[in-house]
Amino acid sequence: MAKINCIGILTSGGDAPGMNAAIRAVTRAAIYNGLSVKGIYRGYKGLVTGEIKEFKSQNVSNIIQQGGTILKTARCKEFTTPEGRKIAYDNMKAEGIDALVVIGGDGSLTGARVFAEEYDVPCIGLPGTIDNDLYGTDTTIGYDTALNTILDAVDKIRDTATSHERLFFVEVMGRDAGFLALNGAIASGAEAAIIPEFSTDVDQLEDFIKNGFRKSKNSSIVLVAESELTGGAMHYAERVKKEYPEYDVRVTILGHLQRGGSPTAHDRILASRLGAAAIDAIMDGQRNVMVGVHHDEIVYVPFNKAIKNDKPIKKELVNVLRALSI
């Protein structure tokens, strides 16, 4: 295997709080180990357009507390084509980059896997997504911060829901994963969570109405994961208006609010650990793996497993929410 002297870092996909902490950790751990570092701007797009800059330790000073990503992120249609990836590879070689660290979600890691297979480039992935939907890691960079943002918002919504005796549907991110909705509901004391993992098993709205809302409560909050499988908060609000017209229903869609903000201590520590471990992996000759954490230990998960396997929701958490929402 060729000796690695220079690594490139990029962030791709949706931004997540803690990405900057990961950029900082990768950069400084690489320099500590005698490697040079180049930051690639705007994800894979920057690899195609050659938007690449050498990073020193001072380039990542005072960013650990910042949300978003200093490297920016963008969609790149060119990189989905063999021609685009060839341009990206040529740019990478011209810059002297020997290995890539990609910080992002499943789409970003899929791009890294394809690129690595085509050009035999050592790629290490870091799970940067608020959705927490990557298999093989207990948590992802940005998830804890997003969860706390949801908690803060729902606490405020609870005040007005109680004052007006209303039923609130609060839509949270997660795409096809219910981790934010379910754990956000438990943490905020919400009455229910409607998540895509169980959308085909039961009528989650009927289940919620039957089990809790009509028994003892004048106001309630239900967290709904944004997903084609659930239909989102508006879908359930319209159903309640038709099927249970006696309830005063409101909808709040939190949207991109959940992506921003200064990362929590948990996300800063997680990003720092994973970033340093990415350099350890490169120094050990590993390639095409995602760095994760399992039972508080660093683990290396092959891209194929991290991307293709669905991360399961614990049924126990659903039972906890149901028991505590009476």
Cβ atoms of 124 and 134 within 8 Å: the answer is no
* Interatomic CA distance for residues 104 and 81, integer angstroms: 20
For 110-164, the DSSP string reads: HHHHHHHHHH---EEEEEB-TT---TT-S--BTHHHHHHHHHHHHHHHHHHHHHH
Extended strands (E) in the chain: 6-11, 36-40, 52-55, 99-104, 123-127, 167-172, 192-194, 220-225, 249-253, 289-294, 297-302
Candidates 64, 57, 59; CA nearest to 28 is 57
- Contact in structure between 150 and 25 (CB atoms under 8 Å): no
Catalytic, 131? Answer: yes
Q: Is the CB of residue 275 less than 8 Å from the CB of residue 18? A: no
Q: Which of 15, 106, 131, 267 is catalytic?
A: 131
> Catalytic site residues?
131
